[in-house]
Structure 1
Amino acid sequence: MSDTNTNRPAFRLYSVNGEGKSARWTDIGVAWPTRDGKGFSLNLNALPLNGRIVMREVTEKEAAA
């Protein structure tokens, strides 16, 4: 992402249950890289009790929405 969009999250966080085409992806938050580039700041709207958390880059299409 460019420096002009530093307030927009760079990543979306999903809780994923299941495998393959039957997996259920639930949007649970967003993430930004830290200023020193050695970690991430997370903003979670939910915390899954099972499954796994997947972090995906925000696409230009998602950022425009």
Structure 2
Amino acid sequence: MTSPTPKRRLPIGIQTFAKLREDNCYYVDKTGLAIDLIESGSAFFLSRPRRFGKSLLVDTLKELFEG
């Protein structure tokens, strides 16, 4: 019999990519889409309601640029 997989928590209120990974939270990896945004070379306006992950997206972009 195998042991059950430990449950991950939802990343409610977490706004940094590093913290999200450290806390082993659920995360939908959208780095491929972020790279597409970077390579398109356009300016983007992030108009979304509160709590829709804008800060997390910007922090993920920062982590991508820092390697």
Write 1 or 2 for the structure with the bigger share of helix.
2
The structure with more radius of gyration = 2
TM over 0.5: no
Shorter-normalised TM-score: what interval?
A: under 0.3
Query: With structure 1 as the length reference, what TM-score do the two structures score?
Result: 0.23
- Identify, as 1 or 2, the structure richer in strand: 1
TM-score using structure 2 length: 0.23
